[in-house]
Structure 1
């Protein structure tokens, strides 16, 4: 079997550049990597986009999702050439479950009280709501273990998530039929680590937990994230 291509799916309030350190690590091992832009407009449409990217890759694919990106790989992972799933401080939904439902089973994280609402135009309809993290709260909520100068840039460059994404339900759970791995960020203030642990256990994932790691673990600890992805690539090659 050929070595899978790794497709990295970023989450809300970030962009594909957040994977830079992880990409460098994987490329140094000769692993093919793609980090497409996540539209962040809704679970169904974003999952369809990720699935379309994966389907156009020649050969097998390991899908890696950070945060909200985990919900997307859960659905998009049913694509035929996807051979493994890696959750990085992420939501691992079940079929018929929404982000809101999964979150609400556990104490809410500091993220919830620090969201700022914006609106964006929708063709033929009323403006829709999207959210970012309030800039003053961004360091503690998203990236507490990242240097302050880097965090200021990340806060300014946030990509907003459509608020409707919290209520859409997953139409599939690819972890039921495909192997999965999960990294739990032990000091995550954006997603309650208990949410990450619960989803990973339910999925039967191989789990690594990083004590003291923030939600921005791919930025702060790229080698540890890349090591878990390497494990998934090796196991599915």
Structure 2
């Protein structure tokens, strides 16, 4: 009887801990993406623990998860902060990202196989479902996953690591981008064209699509972001 009681507890307890951490991380992500925790702001563990009604242990696990996701950064001697964001950052990131993504497709083009195509299609479907559901935060994560596909299949580890380093600021940018255009999630048509080109046979057409994909709506978003940064909030 006692062994029957302990066995399910051993299976269930880790799931509960993981879910609790993920719930805290999701709440923190919402605060960051909404601008309530502004870019560059310091994370005060005591305040957040009190706000969420949790102990420091699961909160720190959630913070580590968001550091891995690129939304938080640990600064020596000053603690953990929301990743900072400026117009200069965004312009540099997107000029770099354009070059990186073109290079990634040049690397992957002759390596594309059924595994790559199936994975790209699956991630595209995930993104479309998030857009249809009006889930802005999930659509940002799914958009990130979709664009990550080419880097993950490129066979170039340093390229992948460089891309991963851009994730946090990209998520903040996309949150501002969606608000600038008055929608929850990216425009489906833009990613349909991107995926069609990635599945196609013309590398030059893919390179053209990457450049156009990056430029769509960028001027309006920059104006929105500039106004948001002046007020200190991405809202």
> Same fold by TM (over 0.5)?
no
Instruction: State the structure with bigger RCO (CA 8 A, min sep 6), 1 or 2.
Output: 1
Query: Higher helix proportion, which one?
Result: 2
TM-score by length of 2: 0.27
> Computing the radius of gyration over CA atoms, which structure comes out larger, 1 or 2?
2
Query: Higher strand proportion, which one?
Result: 1
TM-score by length of 1: 0.27
